[in-house]
Amino acid sequence: MPEDYKQTAAEPTKRFLIGKLRAQSLASKVMADHYTELHHASQTGTQKIAWCSSVGPAELLRGMGFLVYFPENHAAMLGAARQSEAVMRYAGQEGYAPEICSYLRSDVGAFQNRMTALSRINKDILSPPHPDVLVYNTNQCRDIKDWFSWYGRRLDVPCIGIQSPRGIDEVTAEYIDSVTKQLQNLIAPLEQISRTKLNMDKLHRTTALSKQCSDLWKRALQTGRTSPSPLSFHAALTLMGPVVTARGTQTAVDFLIALNDELDARISEGVPAIKNERRRIYWDGMPIWSRLAEMHRLFSSVGANITASTYCNSWIFESLDSEHPIPSMAKAYTELFIARSDDAKEQYLRTTAREFRIDGIIFHESKTCPNNSNSRYGMPERLRKSLKIPVMTLYGDHVDGSMTDIERITTQVEAFAEQLDEGTIS
Amino acid sequence: MSTVFAGIDVGSSATKVALINSNNELKGSATVPTGIQFGPAAKTALQSALDACGREITDVAATVSCGYGRRNVDFADGVQTEIACLAKGIHLSFPEDILVLDLGGRDIKTVEVDASGTFGDFKMNSQCAAGTGVFLEDLAARMQIPIGQFNQLGESASAPVPLGSHCAVFAAGEVLAAAGRGASIENIVLGIYYSMVKKVTEMISHRHNIVISGGVAAHHPIVRRLLTESLGRQVRIPPHAQFTGALGAALFAQKIYTAKEE
């Protein structure tokens, strides 16, 4: 047996990885400050706290002086830290079936079990900040309302929100008017809870900062159009924390300026996100939070970089307009990818795949997130035909590790890489 | 004695080895239970295959591994997924546009292969044992029937007992209920095969010529017959169905060796 060919099996994957962006450490600090501020307010009662769904009316809440807490971010943290597995059963005991959103089950289960992922950030934080109000938008799914309603009953806190249209082909004036009216209807109860009048100047400023945040996030994600890309999906997911939780603040803007500077520097210095980027992948669907690092190593080991994703792009709100904050919020939150029809989604995926010069698309069919799983009605097959590139579906879950078979996923991803690069010996 | 190229498919149930010569002829093969020690299983299977054709380890010019335990074969010269190897292996027997349906112990896979041997789209079953070898083995164990008798029992049946579930656990309940109602063992077994075929046909595109491979295809020829009936077109099987992936791996080994020689 020729000795020269030894050691090709079980190669260490570390050699495919590039060091972290400095902005990832900055993101961790922004998140730590964010949760510490919320914790302080919760302990002292110095500022009202609103819980908000991740694409809920955060600008409106900030405009009224609320500190804003996003339970979905907490659920993702539970998933990423693999803390969900131990607590989801407590949600089951509350009557929540194992087939429904594992974000909901993780978060509710953690609360029932008196634990929180926030303790990993700051050991003094032993529970999520106590809310004064719970504000949802069903633009992403119905589960968010169920989730917030549970807390409303459990904590005896008002739970209000927006019932968004879903499955939208064209975002018409009727849809926007409906959501605009619902947003306006939130103002009176929120004023009552916050005991302050809505400060329109503050709302304009917050919306302007949100728009700036969105523009900077879009700019950062668009560096993925460069070959090789300076940004990986893994990095983008860790950088998203401030984009989700701090949008509408100067902190988020400052963070994103620093991120863009660093990405620009990487491009000019030719520093890629992964070594040997040979395949550029589009990821549709939820991330697999419980396996983030492993997935990053897996993709990197086969020279594949996920250079664009529906998930990260979903926090780009192009329609926000500080001159018309409430109608523009209504439009931005209604034209969201997840709220659209399959036709609109398919068109978006086609356009984005071409824009980012994608070699292959991967759909993640998340077992407990049907609303963000787009592979069930033939879309992969249609995109394969129209784009003439390989398209594959992976089965897993965004948080529930018991529904994610990493061995099967490994085989599929490696085979997908082989398909993209037929005949290469690993 | 001329050199050979080894392909080792470390599957979830069985480890298969195929040895080919430079003319792509199968010279030796062996299969051993994989167990949980992938590396030793690969070594044992390779030695058995060498013994079967009277060759020594020094006759092996290059080795490629595939399958679940592919990364544990530390003496392999290359690693490929079983999907790429299936495509390569099936093309050897069927050099045409084809869809290979591999029925393994734990997985069902479909791989499209074109006339040049290039593989295209592939699918794997979701996280469910329905339609796999484990599905048959679990039900055989529940019925206390050696799995080796299953095929003959199915072929002896007069009418299948309809089973509503593809799930091995729920199907077992239906099997027990059917037995309680007095259904014959043969008809129950045929019902199990029908259930399996119904499940796997969901993964098959109607555009392709179909070839089946894998341990289930090799040891349960009734599946091929039922698939042919169900699809209304001929389903074919390669000569060494269980070794299709291993053969493909051996072809990759040959490619490594040739590249080195050049």
On whether any CB of chain A is under 8 Å from the CB of B60, the answer is yes
Q: What contacts B132, CB < 8 A, 6 or more positions away?
A: B103, B104, B105, B106, B107, B108, B125, B216
pLDDT interval class at A16 (50, 70, 90):
low
Alpha carbons within 13 A on the beta-carbon side of A249: 20
Share above pLDDT 90 across residues of chain A, in percent, rounded to a whole number: 91
pLDDT at residue A10 in the model: 40
Q: How far apart are the first and last CA of chain B?
A: 22
Strand order across the A360-366 sheet = A304-309, A279-284, A360-366, A391-396
pLDDT, tens digit, 9 for 90 and up, residues A239-282: 999 999 999 999 999 999 999 999 999 999 999 999 889 999 99
pLDDT, tens digit, 9 for 90 and up, residues A322-332: 999 999 999 99
Q: Which helix (DSSP H) or strand (DSSP E) does residue B50 occupy?
A: helix B38-52
Q: Do B60 and A403 make contact, defined as CB atoms within 8 angstroms?
A: no
Cβ–Cβ < 8 Å for A48, A69:
no
Task: Please name the member of B58, B64, B84 whose beta carbon is closest to the beta carbon of A418.
Answer: B84
pLDDT at residue B106 in the model: 81
**Chain A residues lying within 8 Å of B68, measured CB to CB:** 407, 411
Task: Please name the member of B78, B121, B255 whose beta carbon is closest to the beta carbon of A426.
Answer: B78
- Average pLDDT score over residue span A24-31: 95
**Residue A84: pLDDT above 90?**
yes
Q: Do B260 and A2 make contact, defined as CB atoms within 8 angstroms?
A: yes
Q: Where are the beta strands (DSSP E) in B104-240?
A: 108-113, 119-124, 210-213, 235-236
How close B144 gets to chain A, by Cα (Å)? 30
Enter the ipTM: 0.88
How close B121 gets to chain A, by Cα (Å)? 7
Q: Do A6 and B77 make contact, defined as CB atoms within 8 angstroms?
A: yes
**Chain A residues lying within 8 Å of B70, measured CB to CB:** 9
Give which of B39, B67, B40, B63 is closest to B55, Cα–Cα.
B63
pLDDT at residue B200 in the model: 86
On whether any CB of chain A is under 8 Å from the CB of B79, the answer is yes
pLDDT, tens digit, 9 for 90 and up, residues B225-257: 999 999 998 999 999 999 999 999 999 999 999
On whether any CB of chain A is under 8 Å from the CB of B204, the answer is no
- The dihedrals phi and psi of A199, each to the nearest 5 degrees, come to -90, 105
Task: Please name the member of A5, A405, A415 whose beta carbon is closest to the beta carbon of B127.
Answer: A405
pLDDT at residue A11 in the model: 46
How close A346 gets to chain B, by Cα (Å)? 19
Give the SS3 label for residue A49.
strand
Q: Do A415 and B81 make contact, defined as CB atoms within 8 angstroms?
A: yes
Task: Please name the member of B58, B60, B77 whose beta carbon is closest to the beta carbon of A8.
Answer: B77
On whether any CB of chain A is under 8 Å from the CB of B247, the answer is no
pLDDT at residue A423 in the model: 43
Give the SS3 label for residue B38.
helix
**Chain A residues lying within 8 Å of B119, measured CB to CB:** 418-419, 422
Task: Please name the member of B79, B126, B255 whose beta carbon is closest to the beta carbon of A426.
Answer: B79
B75 alpha carbon, distance to own chain's centre: 23
Q: Which helix (DSSP H) or strand (DSSP E) does residue A112 occupy?
A: helix A102-112
pLDDT, tens digit, 9 for 90 and up, residues B107-143: 889 999 999 999 989 988 776 777 788 888 888 888 8
Share above pLDDT 70 across residues of chain A, in percent, rounded to a whole number: 95
Cα–Cα distance measured from residue A182 to residue A162, given in angstroms and rounded to the nearest whole number: 6
- The dihedrals phi and psi of B116, each to the nearest 5 degrees, come to -90, -5
Tokens of A14: 């570390």
Supply the mean pLDDT for chain B.
91
Angle at B13 between CA B12 and CA B18, to 5 degrees: 90
Give the SS3 label for residue B98.
strand
pLDDT at residue B104 in the model: 86
Chain A and chain B share a number of CB contacts under 8 A equal to: 89
Q: Which helix (DSSP H) or strand (DSSP E) does residue A162 occupy?
A: strand A159-162
